[in-house]
Amino acid sequence: MKIKEIDLKKVKPYGDALDDGKIQFSFTLPVPYGDEAKECAKRYLELLGFENVMITHMDKMGLGFSFFIAYGVANKTIDFTSIVVPKATKEVWDKHTIVEKIEKDLGRKIVVVGACIESDAHTVGIDAILNMKGIAGHKGLESYHGIEVYNLGAQVPSEEVIAFAKKVNADVILISQIVTQKDVHIANMTKFIELLEAEKLRDKVLTVAGGPRITHELALELGFDAGFSVGTFPEDVATFILQSLLKKKNDKRI
């Protein structure tokens, strides 16, 4: 049987047939449970431009709140071929290659300092990248021959991280931010970069930010050299660091 061909210039959501435009929703409205609530939820999705809206589930949540699960059909299409996402690295090397290149091409050890700064107490991310154990079978940077790691842990003031980085002559500072309520991560990261600039270290040290709500683009915007999000493995970060340091080394030579 012949099926429609996908036009990457005109993409829309796929439910169980090409271009059916189906999207699922779940949301809450601050209105009391009842028929009016259901109709209100339906009309709201229609207002957003969805067609054939179905409220498939509605539940009462305490006093004056209703919860909905719904489906709707989207009409708009998007040009997939026009999408460009900035990335920290083009090509990711494996651990073996990285260790080899550090020794042969860079010819010196790399000093990495990492911390969850300011109010953030969640070290899951920084630990996954730095600690020996790593994450999902990918060993952390501590296990890399040629990389010296200092993981300063949770709630470290930016001032302390920078002072420590100075002391150990760090090549790279890794900043982890997991809590993002009220954009506290933006405030923390901005403060860090400002302090780094005040210390005239901004151009001497590579800065890398990581966290579930951090993109490479956001990190660049805030003045970092790179940003990594969920799904990042230690080798992704190590590759970026090494590629940057190698580039610096070559630039100097020229």
Partner 1 sequence: MKINSVKSKLDLDKKIIDESRDYAKEIVEDVQKFIDLRSTSSVERAVLRLFGVEWYSEEQQLPYVNIIVDKLINDNLISRGSTYYLVNGLLRTGLPLKEFCDNIVSGKISFKSIEPLDFEVVKKKAMDMALSSSEKIEQNVVKRNQMIKDYGEGQPPYLYLIVATGNIYEDVVQAQNAARSGADIIAVIRSTAQSLLDYVPHGATTEGFGGTYATQENFRIMRNALDEVSKEVGKYIRLVNYCSGLCMPEIAALGALERLDVMLNDSMYGILFRDINMQRTFVDQYFSRMINSFAEIVINTGEDNYLTTSDAFEKAHTVLASELINEQFALKAYMPQRLMGLGHAFEIDPDIENQFLYELAQAQMIKEIFPNSPLKYMPPTKFMTGNIFRGHVQDALFNAVSIMSGQTIHLLGMLTEAIHTPFMMDRHLSLENAKMVFKTMRNISDEIEFKKDGIISNRAKKVLNDAHNLLKEITKKGLMESISEGIFADIKRSLDGGKGFNGVFIKDDNYLNPFEKIFIEKLKMRNPQFS
Residue numbers of the site for partner 1 (CB under 8 A)? 26-28, 59, 61-63, 65, 67, 118-121, 123-124, 127, 131, 133, 136, 153-155, 179-182, 184, 212, 230
* C-alpha distance from residue 28 to each of 36, 84, 96, 147, 217 (Å): 14, 33, 49, 48, 31
Classify 241 as helix, strand or coil. helix
User: Min. distance of Cβ 127 from partner 1 in angstroms?
Assistant: 6
User: Min. distance of Cβ 136 from partner 1 in angstroms?
Assistant: 7
Distance, in Å, from the CA atom of 140 to the CA atom of 231, rounded to the nearest integer, reads: 14
Distance, in Å, from the CA atom of 89 to the CA atom of 197, rounded to the nearest integer, reads: 25
User: Min. distance of Cβ 213 from partner 1 in angstroms?
Assistant: 9
Distance, in Å, from the CA atom of 224 to the CA atom of 226, rounded to the nearest integer, reads: 6
Asked if residue 199 lies in contact with residue 187, where contact means CB atoms within 8 angstroms, the answer is no
Nearer to partner 1, 41 or 241 (CB): 41
- What secondary structure does DSSP assign to 20-49, as a single string? --EEEEEEEESS-SSHHHHHHHHHHHHHTT
Helix 158-167 vs helix 184-198: angle between axes, to the nearest 10 degrees? 40
HSE-CB for 234 with a 13 A CA cutoff: 28
Asked if residue 111 lies in contact with residue 171, where contact means CB atoms within 8 angstroms, the answer is yes
Nearer to partner 1, 117 or 209 (CB): 117
Active site residues: 133
Nearer to partner 1, 77 or 155 (CB): 155
The pair of structure tokens assigned to 94 is 């494996």
Nearer to partner 1, 7 or 148 (CB): 148
Nearer to partner 1, 89 or 123 (CB): 123
C-alpha distance across the termini of the chain, in Å = 61
